[in-house]
């Protein structure tokens, strides 16, 4: 059955519509138009929000928890509470983000988070986990921030495979410091991993000239500081 949502106005990055009519079927938006130009389908379930604005939800790419919960804790209620909390502020999807921990704890967290991502279509009335952001353990010892030094390791194909498999293929982004990123690039050249997106930070000491390899792989750059020495973020997938 088709669903129709109407409101006072609609805003997207590319258009605005007064008195919009949004038609939805099987979870997908079929059409967007104005009431003056769009007829409500016969038999459709209509949700009218007079005086309200329709707009795309926010996607949070880096969130460790909320509402008193940590996304890495062994508690099924954690992600539900986080999702409900951030949905009230306009977030509709997010990447639950790990922090450097022991290998066993990280693997257990990735298993739980990966299972939650696989069940995301069952989630109702709260933000959905769309994938996992792996922050650490590939962080610089020199500027590690809150990351425990005893759990920091260098990236390797074996470790990446273990993280990927534990997550059920749900890893979508990874934070990595500059020291080990060239090793990660070497892994991509070996054909085992492909990097879809890199996020780059400018180091505190000044601008660094990026090697052509990084420039060719990057499609998104975000200058900010997260306690690591010139870290990188990469969305990853096995090739």
Residues 145-167 have pLDDT tens digits of: 888 999 998 877 788 889 999 99
The residues facing 46 across adjacent strands are: 4
For the chain, the average pLDDT equals 80
More confident residue, 142 or 208: 142
pLDDT given at position 194: 52
Q: Which two tokens stand for residue 62?
A: 């880096």
Cα separation, 46 vs 2, in Å, equals 9
Interior CA angle at 62 toward 68 and 74, to 5°? 45
Chain center to CA of 150: 27
Q: Give the domain 58-238 fold.
A: TIM Barrel (3.20.20)
Residue 122 CB neighbours (<10 A): 8
What are 25-61's pLDDT values in tens digits? 988 899 999 999 988 888 899 999 999 999 999 999 9
The residues facing 135 across adjacent strands are: 175
- Where do the structural domains in the chain lie, given as residue ranges? 3-54, 58-238
Class of domain 3-54: mainly beta
Contact yes or no for 79/67 (Cβ under 8 A):
no
Cis amide bond preceding 167, omega within 30:
no
Query: Any idea what DSSP says for residue 71?
Result: T
Say which residues have a Cβ less than 8 Å from residue 187's Cβ, sequence separation at least 6. 155, 156, 157, 160, 193
Residue 106 CB neighbours (<10 A): 22
Would you say residue 202 has pLDDT above 70?
no
Cα separation, 70 vs 172, in Å, equals 19
pLDDT given at position 188: 54
pLDDT given at position 186: 53
pTM as predicted: 0.77
- Helix, strand, coil abundance in the chain, percent, nearest 5: 25, 35, 40
Of the candidates 197, 199, 198, 201, the residue with the CA atom closest to the CA atom of residue 227:
201
């Amino acid at each position: 059955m088709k669903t129709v949502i109407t409101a006072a106005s609609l805003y997207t990055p590319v258009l605005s519509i007064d008195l919009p009519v949004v038609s939805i079927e099987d979870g997908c938006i079929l059409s967007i138009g104005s009431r003056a130009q769009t007829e409500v389908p016969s038999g459709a379930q209509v949700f009218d929000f007079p005086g309200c604005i329709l707009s795309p939800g926010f996607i949070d790419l880096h969130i460790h928890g909320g509402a008193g919960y940590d996304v890495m804790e062994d508690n099924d209620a954690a992600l539900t509470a986080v999702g409900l909390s951030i949905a009230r502020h306009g977030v509709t999807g997010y990447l639950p983000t790990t922090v450097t921990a022991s290998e066993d704890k990280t693997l257990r967290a990735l298993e739980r988070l990966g299972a939650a991502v696989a069940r995301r279509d069952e989630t109702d009335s709260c933000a959905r986990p769309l994938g996992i952001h792996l922050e650490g353990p590939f962080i610089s010892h020199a500027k590690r921030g809150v990351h425990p030094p005893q759990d920091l390791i260098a990236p390797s194909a074996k470790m990446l495979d273990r993280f990927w498999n534990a997550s059920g293929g749900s890893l979508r982004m990874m934070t990595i410091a500059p020291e080990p990123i060239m090793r990660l690039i070497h892994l991509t050249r070996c054909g085992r991993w492909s990097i879809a997106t890199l996020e780059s930070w400018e180091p505190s000491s000044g601008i660094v000239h990026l090697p052509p390899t990084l420039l060719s792989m990057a499609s998104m750059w975000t200058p900010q500081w997260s306690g690591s020495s010139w870290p990188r973020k990469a969305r990853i997938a096995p090739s």
